Amino acid sequence: MQITTEAHGKKKEFLPVREEDHIDIQLTCYDQNLIIDSYNSSRSKRVQQRDPLHPAHPMIPLRNMPHDISSTTEGFEDSSEDELREKREKMKKSRMVFANCYMCQVDPSVQHLHTLGNGADIEKLKKRRRTEQIIDKFHEKLNLKISNFVENVPESTLKSENIREIKKGGTFYTLKCLKTVRRAEYGDHCLSQHTNSVDLLNEMVLRCPNWERGCPFVDSRVRVKTGKLRFHVFTSTLTHEPLPDYNREQRESSKWNLENLPLWVYESLVTYLPSSALYNLSLTNKKMRHMAFMGCPGRCYVEPVWKSDTFGSWMQDGFVWKISSTEAPPALEWNIPSQLSQHISKCSYFDAVTYEEKSVAILPPFLDEELRAFFKVSARHEDVQRYLLNLQDR
């Protein structure tokens, strides 16, 4: 499972994923934090994880490489500075004797004697190609450096210079899902986390065409029938909340609580709760984790644990018992975004363009009048053909 995101720059700060924001903003902030975290690894580690389809930047998140012999810069320095430092070293080695000739910098095609001068003045004469990155008001307000729209790029597409030329700047980063699920839950995972959620994100959050100018209006072309979708940062999963505004009644205290219920109660809950709810229960405390595994062994799976023996060699260290964070996809309903149509006609961020030139008629006057008279009445297919033939004879 891959999600390709277009980046317009980097920032050395992590953005908070707020629940009150729309689902597309939450996912964008989470993806941006993953991209920033990948640059906190050493450059050699990132270079080793590149492949022919991702020659510019490896897939995110990066693989754990304990035998990385390079000096780590995690949490201290952005490893992109290593790349700039390496480019400067290559430039020093490739400099020739007459590299400071200012005539070569002004017009290298003209035949001349190499003239050396002051190095400070020569730096001013060098032609530097600068690509301005203009950030719209929407991304500037939220401090977003990546696009909030889902880019559908095939996995076999080379994520390299050709993509940057097509998009006129920016870099594509491919994010991996990395979720382990049971075979019986693989279909539900693909539908709930990818097909019916991320792939339809541009339809779930339908923004005003003037969103780049700062318009906050949001409508939806497809939404869940009941409740809403929530994004959990800790598990990085989308969860359906059926009753988001339900107020639970406070009752009198009882000796029974969620931790000291009989085992048969947990076995009965398995038939009603999805795996994602059981997974969240297992994260509550140690006792709930033990009861979740004891009461629902049929919802668990076994995963091998590997450890590195030597460089490039791995051996099995044991097994671990886990619960997947998967749930069935919610029912969706499609509707016409009528509120968006009404909003566009009176949007305050709309910048109308007025043309002072006089409009020119496309059709001749006699043809325009006859077409209007013809379409006022209903006509059959034969009448339309006969009418067009008469126009050709003229």
Question: Quick one: pLDDT at residue 74?
Answer: 45
Residue 328 has pLDDT above 80, yes or no: yes
Is residue 52 over pLDDT 50? yes
The whole-number average pLDDT for the span 33-47 is 84
Would you state the pLDDT for residue 11? 45
pLDDT digits (tens, 9 = 90+) for 187-227: 999 999 988 988 888 899 999 989 888 898 999 999 998 88
pLDDT in tens, 120-152: 555 555 556 666 667 888 888 888 888 888 777
Mean pLDDT (whole number) for 271-294: 84
Task: Give the pLDDT score at 121.
Answer: 54
The 10 Å Cβ neighbour count of residue 267 is 14
Burial 55-73 (b: 16+ CB within 10 A, else e): eebbbbebeeeeeeeeeeb
Residue 8: band (very low, low, confident or very high) from pLDDT cuts 50, 70, 90: very low
Residue 71 has pLDDT above 70, yes or no: no
What pLDDT, on the 0 to 100 scale, is given for residue 25? 92
What confidence tens digit (pLDDT) does each residue in 219-249 have? 999 999 888 888 988 888 998 888 766 666 6
Alpha helices in 331-380 (DSSP H): 338-345, 365-375
Burial (CB < 10 A; 0-12, 13-18, 19+), residue 40, is middle
Among 6-20, 226-240, 258-272, the minimum mean pLDDT is found in 6-20
Place of tokens 């559908």: 152
Residue 2 has pLDDT above 50, yes or no: no
Q: Is residue 42 a contact partner of residue 80, using CB atoms and an 8 Å limit? A: no
Query: Which residue type is seen at 388?
Result: L
Average of per-residue pLDDT across 324-336: 89
103 — pLDDT class (breaks 50, 70, 90)? confident
Residue-level pLDDT at 350: 86
Q: In percent, how much of the chain has pLDDT > 70?
A: 68
Q: Is 80 exceeded by the pLDDT of residue 154?
A: no
The highest-confidence range among 277-281, 353-357, 370-374, by mean pLDDT, is 277-281
Least confident of 73-87, 210-224, 254-268: 73-87
Q: Mean pLDDT throughout 28-43?
A: 87
pLDDT at residue number 191: 92
The whole-angstrom separation of Cα 352 and Cα 339 is: 21
Instruction: Give the range among 95-99, 178-182, 359-363 with minimum mean pLDDT.
Output: 95-99
Band (pLDDT 50/70/90 cuts) for residue 384 is low
Both ends of the chain: CA-CA distance in Å? Answer: 62
The answer to whether the pTM exceeds 0.75 is no
Cross-strand pairs, 322: 301
- Give the pLDDT band of residue 115 (cuts 50, 70, 90): low
